[in-house]
Structure 1
Amino acid sequence: MLGPFRWLRRRQLLRRPLPPEWLGYLDKRVPFFRELSPELRQRFLDKLKVFAWEKEFIGAGGFTITDEVRVVVAATAVQLVLFLDLSYYDRLREVIVYPGAFKLPDRTGAVLGEAKNWGTVILSWDSVLAGLRNPDDGHDTAAHEFAHVLDRADGAFDGTPKLRQYSHYREWASVMSEHFHGLQQGRRAERNVMDDYGSLNEAEFFAVATESFFEKPRQMKQKTPELYEEMKRFYGWDPAPGD
């Protein structure tokens, strides 16, 4: 439940006017923003303000956090919770942004993004922009890492976020398990929709499925309709209407 101090702080942030230049950043960098209806655009901007001003943004590797960076990264996070509550991000405290691929002490090789257990998301600015420039290729590092945050909101990286109703868990487990194992087995339907990285474990499967849900919704709806329906029920909207 939202604590009284956080609730008050968010009310204050919502009352602050949106800086006019933020709309320019969104129009320039965030294609899905231009497609929102006026009603959804206002909902999006309200959540964007809270996320952008509430979370701490930290530049790393010589990178400087500007308002444009803050707004664009926040937009990638808010897309996932447009029909969910911002409380899914309550455990997230800070977003660290590098200019490009980076190295971490506990990882071999360079990485483009990482969601840490203690409330930190680390992103490459280059990868954030690449995900937005190619909105239908199924690859979006920022969406992937913020999906991990949603997953972690109930206490564990296990591929099952806090669902809308208790009655949804049984069907979620059945459908996600079926398609996770389908991807592990190299089944054509899953491989046509999702990256093989999703076969690593259940948490990565949910994050990869999230990327595909937002970037390849029509393919997911056609090739793996049961998976699409579960993702739609959780996220609360249909990115592929009419198909």
Structure 2
Amino acid sequence: MGLLRAWRRRSLSRLPFPPGWLPYLERYFPFVRNLEPETRERFLEMLKLFVWEKEFISAGGFTLTDEVRVVVAATAVRLVLYLDLSYYDHLREIIIYPDAFRLPDRTGVVLGEAKHWGTVILSWKSVVAGLSNPHDGHSTATHEFAHVLDREDGSFDGTPELRRFSHYAAWTRVMDIHFHQLREGRARERQVLDDYGGVNEAEFFAVATESFFEKPRQMREKTPDLYEELQRFYGCDPLTGRAAASPPTP
């Protein structure tokens, strides 16, 4: 499968980026225009591959359009822009409903769900709502794609596949501290993170990812060690919109 994917990806890479997609990025992702030229090209390359490699499926009477595919894909790619698209290799399909939906294994309505077998389910209304206020720390699509990154190493446990083995000790210590302090209702964590992050370690990582990209200034000020760990993993500094100032430490 790896060889087949690599061959297909090389073939797709030769195809030009569809110019009709650019207005969607301008509308929903203004940060893209401020990326350095080389980084912007990488973003566009990863975006087109994600759109063309993953299967997008409509549900609940929803109509799929290029706008939907591009917006969902751009949200996913933003997380791995300084990592690698391979973090989504086990993601096969994205199912999109027009609004909140119900699932057989869940009570009540749902806005998003990441399944362990390689499926992400999203409410388009919730995706757009998350992008309409990019500084409130709430983005359903970002949350669910963070779960996908978490699952890439085999389980939803709040620890994705880190860059180096030596990073796991600090990651575990910092995440554990802030997870438990959030569960205890500490003011510092609650100013940065949604309470839902206290449900379990997997939800903590997803919620922390939302805040890292949408509330970076607050996170750096209130929980600098948490910000540092996420910065080291994602390889970027959302405050500047660029790669982290220094390379990941050994």
User: Could you say what secondary structure the match of 2:113 adopts?
Assistant: strand
- Are positions 1:102 and 2:101 aligned together? yes
CA distance in 2, matches of 1:194, 1:217: 11
1:221 corresponding residue in structure 2: 220
- Are positions 1:163 and 2:162 aligned together? yes
Please give the residue correspondences for 1:177-192 in structure 2 after superposition, counting only pairs within 5 Å: 177-192=176-191
Q: Which runs of 5+ in 1 are unaligned?
A: none
Please give the residue correspondences for 1:3-152 in structure 2 after superposition, counting only pairs within 5 Å: 3-152=2-151
Displacement of 1:37 after TM fit? 2.4
Once the two structures are superposed, residues 82-133 of structure 1 have per-residue CA deviations (whole angstroms, 9 ceiling, x without a partner) of 0011111011000000011111111111111000011000001111111111
Q: Does the CA-based 8 Å contact 1:22-1:71 persist in structure 2? A: yes
Displacement of 1:38 after TM fit? 2.0
CA distance in 1, matches of 2:126, 2:81: 22
Matched residue type, 1:136: H
CA distance in 2, matches of 1:28, 1:193: 26
Once the two structures are superposed, residues 165-221 of structure 1 have per-residue CA deviations (whole angstroms, 9 ceiling, x without a partner) of 000000000000000001001011100000000000000000000000000000000
Displacement of 1:141 after TM fit? 0.3
Q: Give every structure 1 segment of 4 or more consecutive aligned residues whose post-TM-superposition deviation is greater than 4 Å.
A: none
User: Could you say what secondary structure the match of 1:193 adopts?
Assistant: coil
Displacement of 1:39 after TM fit? 2.0
2:246 corresponding residue in structure 1: none
Q: What RMSD in Å do the two structures reach over aligned CA positions?
A: 1.2
Q: Which runs of 5+ in 2 are unaligned?
A: 242-250
CA distance in 2, matches of 1:142, 1:208: 11
Matched residue type, 1:207: A
* Larger displacement relative to structure 2 (32-41 or 5-14): 32-41
Q: Does the CA-based 8 Å contact 1:144-1:211 persist in structure 2? A: yes
CA distance in 1, matches of 2:27, 2:191: 30
CA distance in 2, matches of 1:237, 1:210: 12
Once the two structures are superposed, residues 10-55 of structure 1 have per-residue CA deviations (whole angstroms, 9 ceiling, x without a partner) of 1111111111101011112223323322222111001001100000
Matched residue type, 2:80: V
Displacement of 1:3 after TM fit? 1.2
CA distance in 2, matches of 1:97, 1:126: 10
Q: Does the CA-based 8 Å contact 1:113-1:142 persist in structure 2? A: yes
2:248 corresponding residue in structure 1: none
TM-score by length of 1: 0.97
CA distance in 2, matches of 1:140, 1:8: 33
Q: Does the CA-based 8 Å contact 1:132-1:140 persist in structure 2? A: yes
CA distance in 1, matches of 2:11, 2:23: 24
